Structure 1
Amino acid sequence: MITGDGFQFRDLRIDCGAYTQTPATDNSYIPWLTDEGFIKSGENKVAFTSNTPFKAYTLRSFPKGHKNCYKLPFYHAYYKFLFRAGFYYGNYDGLSNPPSFRLEIDGILWANVTTSMSEDIIYYELLYITKKSKVSVCLIRAMDYDVPFISSLEAYNIYDAYNWMDNTTPLYLHSRINYGADTSIEQSMNYDAEKYHRIWKSKEMSNYLNIQADSISYDYLIGENRPPLPVMGYAIQATNLRDSIYLCIDFSPRTAVKAYFVLYFMDPVFRLEKNQTSSVEIYIDNNKMAVTDIPNINTFLENQFHVVTLYSVPVNGSANVTISPAEGSTLAPLLNAMEVFSDVSESGHLFNLSSSLFIISLHLLVILLVT
């Protein structure tokens, strides 16, 4: 059995709370390992709901201690990873009281986790460049009555993606939407199509045309971020040539953030004919940010899709993304997919800690003066 003891990993999947490891479920050859060797605290538990994916059927609960940490060993420091933590409460404790708690990576606040009674696994995802060869992922009790738990923990090396990302700021995933697609491809795709193990949430939109390619092969496109063909084969399109696509991105409960928008464009239905042009302008909160052409799907061309990344965009609570026809375009605007991230501010986290220490020190000083 492979464990964390003495091993170093390039990619890692942990089925938290499981007693035996599970072979890879795709041709990536990455098995689902047990907790053994990655953490010394906590208790193995089983969710009461039985019709869940295997990685959510078990979980590790932490009824003792304020902070419990996984130690994840990797081959090298300064590698770019996609980290994903999954939580499925499943009423494992019979209390019908899903907890809330904090999730940290290397001492940096990753997320304030809120679980639920839902039948769906709740995921929190992060793009992170490691500072050391061993990464610490910790669950921290927020309230005395809330018991942290975790169902799955994944880490995938994505060294050749998101090349605009620097090594100082982890990026928290707000959404990754496959526009125009139905729910049939919402789950994580096979490694043949999704080289970075991303999960794309399908979303049809009734106020736009939902279009799709006649046939979609299970493969990925060569180029920036390697988008999957099952994603790029779908799109939303404005109903008329001069209309725009309007999307509102909600960043609550966070207010002021630096946001990162990654937009994917490709015509999946061969709209481009002789003397036709397709290009769009991209606005955020009425500020023009970029212009791009939209190429046709064609497996024999290198320039078969375009990616537009906008960063770091100051956002206060929400952002309005508008995709409008560019001057001279003879076709209505469309969009295949979009990823939205925000920075996870280490300095902000340290500021909160410093502020707390200051308040505690001030409180102790007042007590000493009174007594």
Structure 2
Amino acid sequence: MAHLILDPVMTNSTGFILLLVFLFGVTILVHAQQQTGFISIDCGGPENFEYTDEDTKIKYVTDGSYIQTGVNKNISSDYAYPKNPNLPYPLSDLRSFPHGNRNCYRLIAGTKGSLHLIRASFLYGNYDGENKLPEFDLYVGVNFWSSVKFKNASEQVALETISMATSEETNVCLVNKGKGIPFISALELRPIDNSIYKTEFGDSASLLLFKRWDIGSFNGSGRYQDDVYDRIWFPLKSSSWKSISTSSKIDVSGDGYKPPFEVIRNAATPRNENDSLEFSWISDDRNLKFNVYLYFAEVEKLNKTQLREFDVSWNGSPLIKSIIPRYLQATTVFNSKSLVANEHRISIQKTEDSTLPPILNAVEIYVVRQLDALPTSEEDGMTCCNI
């Protein structure tokens, strides 16, 4: 079978999310008109300073208007430019919080009930000269997001969550748990269409990104000007797959997930047409809940005698049946109930009537986290952060 297996999913407080390495330095083009509602903060930068990042073309501001606590710091020259020529500019400085147990950024972004993608990025870089890797917690309002840990001083860590605002103000909080001083290098918020990224728990759950893959891509850049949600896509390949693609425009207007063209134009299909297309992962905590979002678009013009139809299963059980991807039109499907097990295997297998093997253009995997609590009022949401 065309099969790919992932490393085990860690399930301590850092867990699955810290497998993500945030690559600010990918080549992208994001124009100002496509940044409506974006909040892009270079934490710890000079006061009242703003700039457009040369690599990302995204406009960043420093964080003085979002938080009044903390101390601005620069990473050690051992980890900075020019010794690190590929260092993204937003990671060259940071804001640390030596005082207080909880320090929060206050982001005014939309209204109560609006959906946001929030990305927090960290590079220790021995900024304090102590050579001691800190560990601390991250919250959105009153709800735990993740713990932040580092393998070494040069590791770039990014955490990403999709959550619903409980008021006009969204608070992102760093919490000291006695294992080193919290800090943050960059903080980004992107508005998302409320009709997508649904879970069985409705508004009482958030999504924590595990993986986001551009399937079948050979040289994708990671971020794209036509991705209205500014997601970061990592190429995924397998020797058991072959890539197919198109240069024709693909219609994403009917799909709220709106994958960027460079992602949806590529697809993988098994080299052996009778094989299924599979990917899998392992969790040592069988109580973790996963949602998988699969992106499809037919990129080949089929003749009247050809049919591409397939089923999706999880661990041998039917998940989604009889998918026929539409020619040059994007479709996203996902599981209606969270997937819970130690081992997870997604298999895409052609049906008996299909004359062609299955395809897959992109995939996102999230951990579903039920919220610990909801503020009973906007004042509760604010007082949660003044500790």
TM-score normalised by L of structure 1: 0.80
Find the aligned partners of 2:373 and 2:277 in 1 and give their Cα distance.
34
State, as a whole percentage, how many aligned pairs show the same letter: 26
CA contact (8 A) 1:261 1:311 kept: no
Find the aligned partners of 2:374 and 2:281 in 1 and give their Cα distance.
24
Relative contact order, CA 8 A, sep 6+: which one is greater? 2
Which residue of the partner structure matches residue 221 of structure 1? 252
How many pairs align?
327
* Aligned-residue offset at 1:311: 2.9
Query: Tell me, which stretches of 5 or more residues in structure 1 are unaligned?
Result: 1-8, 298-303, 351-371
Q: Which has the larger radius of gyration?
A: 1
User: CA 1:71–1:94 in 2, change beyond 3 Å: closer, same or farther?
Assistant: same
Find the aligned partners of 2:342 and 2:98 in 1 and give their Cα distance.
35
Range that drifts further, 160-169 or 69-78: 160-169
User: CA 1:196–1:335 in 2, change beyond 3 Å: closer, same or farther?
Assistant: same
**Residues 140-197 of structure 1: per-residue CA shift (max 9 Å, x gap):** 123x242211111111111255163532211111111111223x3243222xx21111
- Within the candidate set 314, 319, 330, 2:344 is matched to 319
User: CA 1:115–1:161 in 2, change beyond 3 Å: closer, same or farther?
Assistant: farther
Matches within 5 A, 1:163-178: 164-165=198-199, 166-178=202-214
Which residue of the partner structure matches residue 309 of structure 2? 279
- Within the candidate set 159, 174, 186, 1:152 is matched to 186
**Residues 284-306 of structure 1: per-residue CA shift (max 9 Å, x gap):** 11110112112333xxxxxx122
Which residue of the partner structure matches residue 76 of structure 1? 111
User: CA 1:34–1:220 in 2, change beyond 3 Å: closer, same or farther?
Assistant: farther
Which residue of the partner structure matches residue 111 of structure 1? 146
Which residue of the partner structure matches residue 247 of structure 1? 279
Find the aligned partners of 1:53 and 1:309 in 2 and give their Cα distance.
34
Range that drifts further, 92-101 or 232-241: 92-101
* Aligned-residue offset at 1:233: 1.9
User: CA 1:42–1:206 in 2, change beyond 3 Å: closer, same or farther?
Assistant: same
* Aligned-residue offset at 1:66: 2.0
- Within the candidate set 227, 231, 234, 1:194 is matched to 227
Which residue of the partner structure matches residue 46 of structure 1? 74
**Residues 286-338 of structure 1: per-residue CA shift (max 9 Å, x gap):** 110112112333xxxxxx12211113323123311111112211111121111
CA contact (8 A) 1:216 1:230 kept: no
- Given the alignment of the two structures, is residue 140 of structure 1 paired with residue 165 of structure 2, yes or no? no
Kindly provide the amino acid, as one letter, of the partner of residue 289 in structure 2.
K
- Secondary structure at 1:330's aligned position in 2? coil
Find the aligned partners of 2:276 and 2:153 in 1 and give their Cα distance.
35
CA contact (8 A) 2:123 2:156 kept: yes
- Secondary structure at 2:339's aligned position in 1? strand
CA contact (8 A) 2:251 2:330 kept: no
TM-score normalised by L of structure 2: 0.77
Range that drifts further, 94-103 or 229-238: 94-103
Which residue of the partner structure matches residue 49 of structure 2? 21
- Secondary structure at 1:311's aligned position in 2? coil
Find the aligned partners of 1:114 and 1:266 in 2 and give their Cα distance.
38
- Secondary structure at 2:64's aligned position in 1? coil
CA contact (8 A) 2:208 2:367 kept: yes
Which residue of the partner structure matches residue 34 of structure 1? 62
**Residues 234-274 of structure 1: per-residue CA shift (max 9 Å, x gap):** 2221122221112113445x531222111011233x16233
- Secondary structure at 1:259's aligned position in 2? strand
Which residue of the partner structure matches residue 256 of structure 1? 287
CA contact (8 A) 1:174 1:251 kept: no
User: CA 1:290–1:215 in 2, change beyond 3 Å: closer, same or farther?
Assistant: same
Find the aligned partners of 1:167 and 1:274 in 2 and give their Cα distance.
44
- Given the alignment of the two structures, is residue 265 of structure 1 paired with residue 293 of structure 2, yes or no? no
CA contact (8 A) 1:212 1:234 kept: yes
